[in-house]
Amino acid sequence: MRLDTELLAPAGSKESLQAALDNGADAVYFGLQSLNARQGAENFKLEELETTVEYIHKHNARAFLTLNIDLTTRDIGKAAKILTVADYAGVDAVLFTDPAILLLKPHFPHIEFHFSTQASITTSEGVKAAKDLGVARVVLAREMSAEEIQIACNIKGVEVEVFTQGALCMCISGRCLLSSWGGGKSGNRGACTSPCRVNWRISNNCSEDILSTQDLSLIEKLPELIKNGVACLKIEGRLKNAAWVGKAVKLYRDVLDGKEHYKKADTLPLGEYTGRNMTDGYYTNQRHTIFGSGGRIAKKKQSSSYEDSTPTAKIETITAIHTDSSSDLPDSFDLSIMSYNQALECEIDFNNQKEAWTLPKTIIKHASRGLTISDAAGWLGQLTIQDTTMNKFITDNPDFMVSKKAVNKIADRISATIHRIKKQETQKAANKITLTDKVRALTKFKEANPENKFTLTDRPNTMRIHVSQAEEILATIKPERIIIEEAQDRDITHLLNIAANSEIIIALPTVFFEYEIKSIKKLCHICKDLKVKVEVNGWDSWKIARDIGVEFTGGIGIAVLNPLAAESLQELGFKSVAFSLEAGEKQLIDLARSCPIESMLTTFSRPILAHTRADFTDKIDETSILRDSRNISLNVHFRNDITEFRSTKPFSIGGIDSPEIQVRWLCVDLINSPNPVQEWKNAHKLKNKNLFNFDKGLF
């Protein structure tokens, strides 16, 4: 855990990286040119990673690498290599969302792993889940209120990170299929085309940018966030230029350092980049106030005052190496901090190699904002840094007050220095990335579960319905399995009676917030008592179901794109998994060949394309139809304070002759069907021209 609140800045390019560091970022997050959620940014090359991390560490900051997308089967080997290089390069943390990373994580113990906001964690139960999974930090959903954030921060043993500035998505991150539905460019794969920023026609009215939100600004809420225990304040903006990044970081740095007390209005100049105003509507529970102009579409790279001052570190080709586990390197280091000049002079001695650096002195106005050098040494002495501990400490002034930020920077510099010295002591490998045997074994997938034997030409055996449809549909249709959405605890006994010999599964919400936890737990307890499975659709509901002990399956809210993710969920107690709705034919074939657990594939559906917590009730109702210029049409459903936009038109892949795609459960989603009985009967006969991404693949 850190002693003070960390300021995390975006770095979509080298220029933005320098701007962030020059203006006081404690850490920066950046992506490589593949497998990150901002493919439109300039990003960094894999061979640049070592020198990029060294440059960041020389500025006494931490380096966070984004690996925060849904991974396909063919991505797993690449992800393993990226983690191998990241470990060698000294990356401090990796942001991720795909469950496959949970199985790779133990093989890289020197890297922190953080759940990206793409993991859609919205409650304290999700934070508890992260703790159970050994995840060091959670980036919370941006839709959470001040009270909900505070409750999440009360979970000990895992850090909480909160977005405080930048663009807002209309949809909850990780829950959006709009861009993918409109052309295969998935936001969950880092290729979002921002369809929420364009005009939509509401029924027969004039078109408007109804789905577009203003930009986020919580700058005046920083004291409250810090008081409530937020470990990290995050600025969005990997698609923005260096000038914007520099200005944003400086504003927040000044507030954190006590130099200024900025208001939300002071961040309005940052909105000039996008043409949007600022909002804190989610944080303050004023969710009807978040809307605004779609703004301008920013160019990939714009002129910047930082463009002529790029990092001076020379970018060289990196060679991955193996750490010799039999190394006789010392397990301790010596540290000195001297205060007799105008700066703090620090020196570490490890393995007979010394490295010195300086930090500027900071005047501590309040004792609560700092600690003595003696106390700082005591805290550092309790840490294990790169598998080493402090042996000896020397100072000339033990009572001198230093800032908590400075102590964190000293700890980070110690970590970076020891890591670099350890690298120098290892044998240089060939100029290629070499995976360890254990990591390589994870990329060699298991055999497919023998129960996965049904193809797209077989009749479906599973249906998904809304609880309000159950009485009508189950009077005439008795499939092998029925997944029921929005059922309440009082409904379960009646559903069991009318389902006859069909197995029912109660779907837990794909998105829910703190106030719903009590009712979801009650529902799970009743399902456990009646021996009814529940469908888990996220980490929040996984934690609840697992703790209560009810049997659970995986739903489309925690769907998989690769066999390692399926294996990971299997180890976490899932009885079956759902294949991603977004997958193309080749991706489904790759996944089906090696899926070790029973799997479900939805072959017919009018899918939910967006879940949002924005308050649309004064703009639309459940009779409204939204259409864009590509003739995508959406209907509206309100569930508590969540608005769901579901396609009015179905996709159908039933009946396609693709024999290598084999699953246990073929699911037909009949929610919003005008004639569910007839659609069920015809679901395995291909008549629909809309195949979603099946025929074109997923970007």
pLDDT digits (tens, 9 = 90+) for 647-656: 999 999 999 9
Helices (H), 425-510: 437-442, 470-473, 492-499
Whether residue 531 is predicted with pLDDT greater than 60 in this model: the reply is yes
Task: Please check whether residue 560 is in contact with residue 579, taking contact to mean a CB–CB distance below 8 angstroms.
Answer: yes
Token pair in block for residue 315: 């970018």
pLDDT at res. 314: 30
What are the Cα distances from residue 245, in Å, to 12, 18, 21, 68?
10, 9, 10, 21
Give the residue from 40, 11, 8 showing the smallest Cα distance to 306: 11
Summarize the confidence of residues 628-643 as an average pLDDT: 93
- Locus of tokens 């009650």: 522
Which DSSP letter does residue 486 get? S
Task: Please check whether residue 468 is in contact with residue 485, taking contact to mean a CB–CB distance below 8 angstroms.
Answer: no
Q: How far apart are CA 410 and CA 48, in angstroms?
A: 25
Would the pTM count as exceeding 0.85? yes
Task: Please check whether residue 661 is in contact with residue 592, taking contact to mean a CB–CB distance below 8 angstroms.
Answer: yes
Percentage with pLDDT > 70 across the chain: 94
pLDDT tens-digit readout, 77-92: 999 999 999 999 999 9
Summarize the confidence of residues 418-442 as an average pLDDT: 75
Whether residue 38 is predicted with pLDDT greater than 70 in this model: the reply is yes
Whether residue 322 is predicted with pLDDT greater than 50 in this model: the reply is no
Neighbours of 462 (CB within 10 A): 23
Sorted by sequence, the CB contacts under 8 Å of residue 116 that are 6+ apart come out as 37, 66, 68, 95, 96, 97, 139, 173
Burial 540-553 (b: 16+ CB within 10 A, else e): bbbbbbbebebebb
pLDDT tens-digit readout, 454-506: 999 999 999 999 999 999 999 999 999 999 999 999 999 999 999 989 999 99
Summarize the confidence of residues 155-163 as an average pLDDT: 98
Could you please report the per-residue DSSP string of 224-265? HHHHTT--EEEE--TTS-HHHHHHHHHHHHHHHTTS----GG
The C-alpha angle with vertex 121 and arms to 120 and 124, in degrees rounded to 5, equals: 165
pLDDT tens-digit readout, 682-692: 888 877 789 99
Whether residue 337 is predicted with pLDDT greater than 90 in this model: the reply is yes
- Locus of tokens 């942001």: 95
Q: How far apart are CA 16 and CA 238, in angstroms?
A: 8
pLDDT tens-digit readout, 140-149: 999 999 999 9
Q: Which residue has the higher pLDDT, 369 or 270?
A: 270
Average pLDDT, the chain: 91
pLDDT at res. 113: 98
Sorted by sequence, the CB contacts under 8 Å of residue 516 that are 6+ apart come out as 509, 640
Whether residue 520 is predicted with pLDDT greater than 70 in this model: the reply is yes
pLDDT at res. 309: 33
Q: Which residue has the higher pLDDT, 383 or 514?
A: 514
